[in-house]
Structure 1
Amino acid sequence: MSLATRCTACGTIFRIVEDQLRVSDGWVRCGRCAEIFDARELLFDIEQETPPPWPAAFVPPPAPAMPAPLPPPPPVQQPPAPEPSWMPPPEPEPEPRIDPLPTGWPPADDLRQEPRWEDEPRDLPPEASQPASAPEPALLASEPMPDTPVAAPAPVPEFMRRAETAARWNRPGVRLALVAVSLMLTLLLLLQIAVHFRHALAALHPPLRAGLQGLCSMTGCEVQAWQRIEALSIDSTSLNPLGSAGYKLNLTLRNKTAVDVAPPSLELSLTDASGAPLARRVIAPEALQPPLQRVSADSEQALSFSFSTGSQRVSGYSVVAFYP
């Protein structure tokens, strides 16, 4: 079945599908005269039916059947009319007294000279001889008449509102503005990523260090060595007594990666002969011999640290590297 409808304004016939009628509740817009009308009024099957007449003929509804006349009501006996009785005519009311002049007017015998008009006044300027005409009030075009009813706007179908919204976003100016905003947001995201991962970028790509330092000068940050604890390992350790309850810790720190990393701190834990914890100390990289500033790539560093425990004797120890 192929459906079609005819425009109620210009009579143009065009095809239509059921999905469009279901989405727009039957309302469509004519592509020739832009008239919005209900397509279901003149809907027909273009393959099996002839187009409806245009303009649509008005078919009056069938007149309702007239009910059978009711039988006339029985005559009602009227009471006898009362006989008229004679009454004397009403007396005329006295006429109100009207004064010849209102209160405050001069009496009739007070003679005074009345002003006389001349055709051409001689003592007045030409502008004064013409009466000033009062300006007529003008009605602003933007203000509606107080008694004029304002017509309510016609409802717009949902599919037309969606089409207008899509057309608004497809304008060249709007698309250029969206592209500019997208580029600016992308640049800000890249700058944020560069600031957050500045240590790793400087270690993996040394030529970027100068640019990252310039960026940090504007944002108030600092480019330091990359802290990567999984790249470091302690290969060997030894704890040797020095006399007078003094000890010397010797260890070898190794960097297993191809980039320089930041020096770690060391946690030294001591235990007595029973295995109970005796002391715990954190050793900064600057306190080691020699002091560590950076662990070079693919290198081993021999380090030592001397300390004293007083009268307590150490039977066991452990060393762990970490970043504070």
Structure 2
Amino acid sequence: MRFVTRCPSCGTSFRVVVDQLKIADGWARCGWCQHVFDATQDLQPEPALAPGQPPDARVLPETTATPAPTAAQHLVEPPPAGAPAEPGPQPQPVAAPAQPEAATQPPAPAGAPEPEPASWPDEPVSQPQPEPEPEPAFVRQARRRARWQHPLVRAVLAAVALGLTGLLLAQVAWLGRAAVLARWPQALPWYELACQPLGCTVGRQRPAGAVVVEGSVLLRRAPDRYSFHLVLRNQADAEVEAPALELTLVDAQGEPLARRVWLPPQWPQPTERLAAATEWPLQFELAFDHPQASRMNGYRVVLFYP
């Protein structure tokens, strides 16, 4: 199978041989402008001629020019004056060729019909099309490399890579928002702004052990009235969500007698967040008229996030 390539410098098209391209690793030199180029960049199979189509008139067989005979070769010098003319050959009579006698043939019978000429089919006979030969492997590889190195393809791939990188960074920032907000609390407005069109919520920081009870005391003000004082401390370096507070009154054996829970909005000074490395004092007034109030011997304080 023959191939046709085109010179990128002058645009001349010419045939190339696959074996020669393999030896030269796909490189060729233009015979018109002497430009060296990669012939596999624009390698196309040579179009086959249709049946009955004359070959290209521009491809002519080589001919060898022969010089024309000179005029001196055809001239005869005239005889000198006074010289007797030599007798030339006399024409001989030529007998007329004998006419052959007409062969006597018997007359054809009058009733015999003349044979009709053979008729050809009106439709042209379809010629089987030759199967195209498979392209060489190095031609396919060269086309594949040229396709991936196209500027438009490279620009699209770069845009897709940047988009995927941004999507990955956004996913990491969302999944690790707890660590990001713990390190940079000022990033919270940006998270909330991003959640507005998506209808999501940004959870507060709830690091385990960040908020502790610095001190507490339970005082009896009356037979059934108590005053509970405590101080909460945020040990983290970032702002955290305020936890819920649970107070449990127990007897001498540690059995619970009564339990009370206060959420941050129910505190004497309602708050949602505790600043970094700060203390938060609280005071609660309790009314405990349980029948077994006389058995109360202590209390427990627990901080948790509901």
Structure 1 length as normaliser, TM-score?
Answer: 0.47
Structure 2 length as normaliser, TM-score?
Answer: 0.49
